[in-house]
Every structure is written in C-alpha cells, then in structure tokens.
C-alpha cells in the first residue's frame, strides 16, 4: 500500500467524482482509477460503488476513509517534525475561527508568527463551530478558535483565550447621557440591527432578551460583525457586538458603546486542537504560544477605556 493510493482514494471520497479527484491530485483519471483498483486488490475489498460514475463509498470504504485521513495527516506531521528538527517549525498553519472571533486571530498569531517566521498561515473565518470541529477532526484544519460549548467536543485539547461579552453599539443620541451600561429591556426599545438567527452569538442574545420575556424583531440582520458597525455608523440603528471587536474599530463620530447588564452575558472562547495522535508541529507551536497570552486583560482594558468615554 502506498501513500499515493490513499491520497487518491481520499480525493475521490471528498470530490465524489473521479475526474475532479484526478484533477485535484494532478494525475490522469486512468492513473487514479488504476491506483484505487490496486488498493482494493491489496485489501481484498471493494471501496467504491461504481456505475457509469461514482455512486458512493461501500461500508468498507467509509471506514477506510477515516483511517486514510489520519494516516496521511500523521505522515505529513512526521515529515514536518523532521523539518522542524532541521530548520525550525515550517509549513502552513491552517487556522479556523468562528466569524465573531475572526479579529482575535491576529492577536493569537502575532507572537506565534514572530517566533516562527517561516510558517505561513491560512485562516478560515466564515464557518460555524460544528463545521470547524468537523474539518479539524478530518485533519483539514490544524487548530480552531471557537466558543466553548457546554458539552465540549470529542478528542480536542482546549486553551482558554478570553471570555467574550456583549456591548450595545449605538449613536449617542439613542442612549441616556452619561450611561456606561444599559439593561436588556431598554436595549429592546431601540431600532436594532443584529446577527442572523443561526449564529451562536445571536442565539445567546435572544436568550438574554427571553429572560425578560422579550422577543426582538430587528429590521436588519447580517452574518457580519463588521456590517453591524457600519449599520450603527449610519445613525439609524443600534447593534449588539462582542466587546472583542471594539479595538479594531476606533469609536469615532457620535458612536458610543455601553455594556449590557442584567444579565451580563459572557461566552468563553478557546483555541482547540486535535488531541488524536501526536499532532503537527505547527499546531503544537501555536498552542504553546497561546498559553502565554493574556487576551482577557487586553480586551477588558479596552472595554473599560471605551465605556468611560461618555
């Protein structure tokens, strides 16, 4: 059995199409098909249901694709380990973040990239936590920045980064003079622009309103926190955003940010890595770097300074 055969098989399983898989692997379709057929003969099983085209994996194929992804990931990690011994940590770090933590990645990466200048970084920031965990389990991502779910996720190691909490961002004339905080029922009286209902942050915001028997119906919904800042900047809407975004958007003009109270809503955010196997050198190096951060202090100091400007 060759690693190339496993690579071809995984590509077919992912693309669900022989020609696209061959193109992805930079080989001809006959060469790819022959390599997979040889793999089936070596294992004495049928891995792929074939008709005129790809018709899905057999039960044996479904099991093998899990092992194949792990074998290939550990093979890549081994090669990276050898390179790290010789010339330091190199390669590409594939980092995923939930959308509301996308700006946090720059702070997590700053010290890491300074310590490991040969590493390149790819960031995926438009995926839900469930998809991020899936991609990490399939070795498509090395690490993810996510909200910590109460039930957690299987086979992950977590490094807590900070507690995210939420502020109301609004034109000054919508807020009481001199206020540094606002209750949720008072926020509900304002014209609101909020994140879309499928996003975890929006679901937490809705639960906070529900604690006061309030169901909000915002005129504007978006899946982008940056878009919420733009809506507030027009002067027409107030919005609720994670306080971790305030440092990237200087509070100019007539915009103000105030904390939301009763309840003071928080959500823990952590760096997650795959605990299965030894892991890649880049993931281990990122974890070590993240453990030395004090992001909670940075964000809390930023919030305290901004809410004082009233």
pLDDT band at 300 (very low <50, low <70, confident <90, very high): confident
Asked if the structure places residue 238 within a domain, the reply is: yes
Residues 147 and 281 in one domain: yes
Residues 147 and 24 in one domain: no
Asked if the structure places residue 204 within a domain, the reply is: yes
Asked if the structure places residue 309 within a domain, the reply is: no
Q: Which domain holds residue 191?
A: 163-266
Residues 272 and 158 in one domain: yes
Please list, in sequence order, all residues whose beta carbon lies within 8 angstroms of the beta carbon of residue 17, skipping any fewer than 6 positions away.
53, 54
pLDDT tens digits along 121-162: 999 988 888 899 989 988 889 999 999 876 656 678 999 999
Asked if the structure places residue 59 within a domain, the reply is: yes
Where a domain ends, among 45, 74, 103?
74
Residues 238 and 250 in one domain: yes
Residues 152 and 94 in one domain: yes
Report residue 217 as tokens. Answer: 């119906």
Asked if the structure places residue 11 within a domain, the reply is: yes
CATH code for the domain of 18: 1.10.10.10
Where a domain ends, among 74, 95, 129?
74
| Residue 309 in this model has a pLDDT that exceeds 60 | no
Give me the DSSP letters along 36-76: HHHHHHHHTS--EEESSSEEEE-HHHHHHHHHHHHHHHHHH
Report residue 21 as tokens. Answer: 């898989």
Residues 167 and 260 in one domain: yes
This prediction's pTM? 0.75
The mean-pLDDT minimum among 36-50, 94-108, 273-287, 294-308 falls in: 294-308
| Residue 84 in this model has a pLDDT that exceeds 60 | yes
Q: Are 173 and 146 in contact (CB under 8 A)?
A: no
For position 151, what pLDDT does the model report? Answer: 61
Report residue 51 as tokens. Answer: 């008709």
Residues 272 and 153 in one domain: yes
pLDDT band at 118 (very low <50, low <70, confident <90, very high): confident
Where a domain ends, among 25, 41, 74?
74
189-203 burial, b at 16+ Cβ within 10 Å, e below that, comes to ebebbbbeeebbbbe
For position 194, what pLDDT does the model report? Answer: 96
Average pLDDT of the chain to the nearest whole number: 86
Q: Are 174 and 234 in contact (CB under 8 A)?
A: no
Total number of domains constituting the chain? 3
Residues 44 and 191 in one domain: no
| Residue 38 in this model has a pLDDT that exceeds 90 | no
Asked if the structure places residue 307 within a domain, the reply is: no
């Amino acid at each position: 059995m060759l690693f190339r055969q496993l690579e071809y098989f995984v590509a077919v399983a992912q693309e669900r199409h022989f020609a696209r898989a061959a193109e992805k692997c930079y080989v001809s379709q006959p060469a790819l098909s022959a390599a997979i057929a040889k793999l089936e003969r070596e294992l004495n099983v049928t891995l792929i249901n074939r008709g005129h085209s790809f018709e899905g994996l057999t039960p044996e194929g479904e099991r093998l694709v899990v092992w194949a992804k792990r074998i290939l990931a550990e093979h890549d990690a081994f090669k990276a380990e050898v390179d790290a011994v010789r010339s330091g940590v190199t390669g590409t770090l594939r980092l995923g973040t939930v959308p509301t933590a996308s700006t946090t990645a720059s702070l997590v990466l700053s010290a890491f990239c300074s310590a490991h200048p040969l590493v390149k970084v790819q960031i995926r920031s438009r995926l839900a936590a469930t998809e991020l965990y899936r991609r990490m389990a399939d070795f498509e991502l090395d690490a993810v920045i996510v909200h910590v779910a109460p039930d957690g996720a299987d086979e992950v190691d977590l490094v807590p980064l900070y507690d995210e909490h939420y502020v109301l961002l609004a034109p000054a004339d919508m807020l009481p003079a001199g206020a540094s905080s606002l209750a949720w029922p008072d926020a509900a009286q304002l014209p609101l622009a909020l994140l879309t209902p499928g996003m975890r942050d929006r679901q937490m915001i809705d639960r906070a309103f529900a604690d006061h028997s309030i169901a909000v119906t915002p005129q504007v919904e978006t899946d982008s926190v940056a878009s919420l800042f733009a809506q507030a900047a027009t002067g027409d809407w107030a919005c609720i955003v994670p306080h971790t975004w305030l440092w990237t958007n200087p509070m100019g003009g007539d915009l103000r940010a105030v904390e939301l109270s009763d309840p003071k809503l928080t959500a823990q955010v952590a760096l997650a890595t795959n605990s299965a196997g030894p892991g890649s050198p880049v993931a281990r190096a990122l974890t070590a770097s993240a453990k030395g951060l004090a992001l909670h202090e940075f964000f809390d100091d930023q919030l305290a300074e901004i809410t004082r400007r009233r």
